[in-house]
Structure 1
């Protein structure tokens, strides 16, 4: 299993939610008004909404789950996406939807893996001070749930990020691209970082929030 497999599964979860929530303004999580922690919101290379906003369910299904769109949404290469899907299906973390034929994440199994194993398989640690995008307890999804004691915040290194803190290596290489395109990806990946970093209090809050969402 590779770390990008987790990123792809999270994207499948976000897409499934979009099928049931047609408005582009309604994500899985409730966000503050200004949730973006980077510069250049209007830049065409930094899309701050889902790249595909369908008007019909069939149109969405015919496009959203294509390898081409999954690549555009996550930054993961087409060949890697195909290999990731095959791996995830083989180990039970994904399956084909019987009605529509599109790939679905096994949310229960994925949550079990995240809470029990992700910090051991894909560990994270704080590094040098850098500019980047807030993650873990400093991300918007956990604002108001955790009060910082004044220490440097964790960030994904990014030249266009607006926060300064200690570097955390993203779960997969293209995390900062994927979150710009999908606020729910930002939320889920930040929550997972709280679990990966291993602080008990922050990890428990992140697990509860992630569980309520995945269920």
Structure 2
């Protein structure tokens, strides 16, 4: 069974050249042993190939777009200060104009955005986002699938496709 940290590892590796476990762990502020365990689960799920040492992009994209919100449903809390996610963070932050509602955020003491707290996929998400801008963009897109309406998910899908292949 996949865990939230597995999705963070998947996004950190997707579309990028192979790197060591230690480099991957540093990229997302995680431990190398945790990365190894995540890769084992991702391989079993058919989202990562050990032979190619790469994320299987078509399978990963299909899972992220269509399955992730059912496996990792969004859990919202009250108002909080944190890091912007979903449509409030790049690359979606300019797509929908201003809204009267508060944006979704991951609670974090270094966060500068006041919004509605969204429980991240795993506790390492805010640190991973701060450590790597591309991983932050991908995590925000994944959250758009978890909390967004059909319009948001449709726009996020195009951005996700581009981001995964851009590396």
TM-score (norm 2): 0.90
Which residues of 2 match residues 1-215 of structure 1 at below 5 A? Answer: 1-13=2-14, 15-16=16-17, 65-96=19-50, 98=52, 103-215=53-165
Q: Distance in 1 between matches of 2:45 and 2:89?
A: 31
Q: Deviations over 1:157-202 (max 9, x none)?
A: 0111111000011112111111122111111100110101141111
Q: Deviations over 1:64-101 (max 9, x none)?
A: x2222222221333222111111212222111355xxx
Q: Deviations over 1:121-173 (max 9, x none)?
A: 00113311011011111103112211232111110101111110000111121
Q: Distance in 2 between matches of 1:9 and 1:148?
A: 31
Contact 2:73 2:146 in 1 (8 A): yes
Indicate the residue corresponding to 1:58 in structure 2: none
Contact 2:86 2:148 in 1 (8 A): no
Q: Distance in 2 between matches of 1:14 and 1:92?
A: 16
Considering only CA atoms, is the larger Rg found in Structure 1 or Structure 2?
A: 1
SS in 2 for 1:177: helix
Cα RMSD after superposing both structures = 1.6
- Show structure 2 runs of 5+ residues with no match: none
Contact 1:134 1:153 in 2 (8 A): yes
TM-score (norm 1): 0.71
Contact 1:115 1:207 in 2 (8 A): yes
Q: Distance in 1 between matches of 2:58 and 2:31?
A: 26
Q: Distance in 2 between matches of 1:160 and 1:130?
A: 12
- Show structure 1 runs of 5+ residues with no match: 17-60
Query: How far has the Cα of 1:14 moved from its partner?
Result: 5.5
Q: Deviations over 1:21-67 (max 9, x none)?
A: xxxxxxxxxxxxxxxxxxxxxxxxxxxxxxxxxxxxxxxx6xxx222
